[in-house]
Amino acid sequence: MAPFTSQELRKGFASFATGVTVITCVDEDLNPHGITISSFNTVSLEPPLILWSLKKHSRLMPWVEVGKKHLIHVLERTQEDLAMHFATVKINQFERIDHSLSPSGLTEIHHCVAYYECETISVHVGGDHNIIVAKVISLKNHPEKEPLIFARSKFVGLDFSEIKST
């Protein structure tokens, strides 16, 4: 195989369709923070583990270290604006965002497809990112809703009425 540039690699990675999530956490003063992540993967059912990646120098890193809790929101197909909103750093991120506090004190964005409340159990360096491995503590799922998908640098949806279940 021929060598490639980082731009070519980015375009190649864009061929892999992925779900879109927003991860929320709180800082030491219990202020909420959120970030859009598409690097979410399931790891294990027993124990229930997931992983996701965050830039090594992200301002959120101190609040998702080992032992810290966070809430993963799987976005619904009409929540493109929400994905873009949390893709950039803002002051008062949750102003004008439909949300509430979960029983555990994390910020829960309303109308998502699924919610995974997690606790980080390990952090691994992976190039310019940290790989966060977290245990799922609680789950809420709304299978009647359709998830937002990101592929080839665009948001897309799936028509689940055409997909046959196995």
pLDDT tens digit sequence for 86-107: 998 888 899 999 999 999 999 9
CB within 8 A of 98, min separation 6: which ones? 109, 110, 111
Distance, in Å, from the CA atom of 166 to the CA atom of 156, rounded to the nearest integer, reads 23
pLDDT number for residue 89: 83
Cis check: omega of the bond before 47, within 30 degrees of 0: yes
CB within 8 A of 9, min separation 6: which ones? none
pLDDT number for residue 59: 92
pLDDT tens for the chain, 166 residues long, are 678 888 888 788 777 778 899 999 999 999 999 999 988 999 999 999 999 999 999 999 999 999 999 999 999 999 999 999 999 888 889 999 999 999 999 999 999 999 999 999 999 999 999 999 999 999 999 999 999 988 777 787 766 665 555 5
pLDDT number for residue 43: 95
Indicate the CATH number for domain 6-153.
2.30.110.10
Other CB atoms within 10 Å distance of the CB of residue 86: 25
Distance, in Å, from the CA atom of 71 to the CA atom of 87, rounded to the nearest integer, reads 16
Distance, in Å, from the CA atom of 67 to the CA atom of 30, rounded to the nearest integer, reads 15
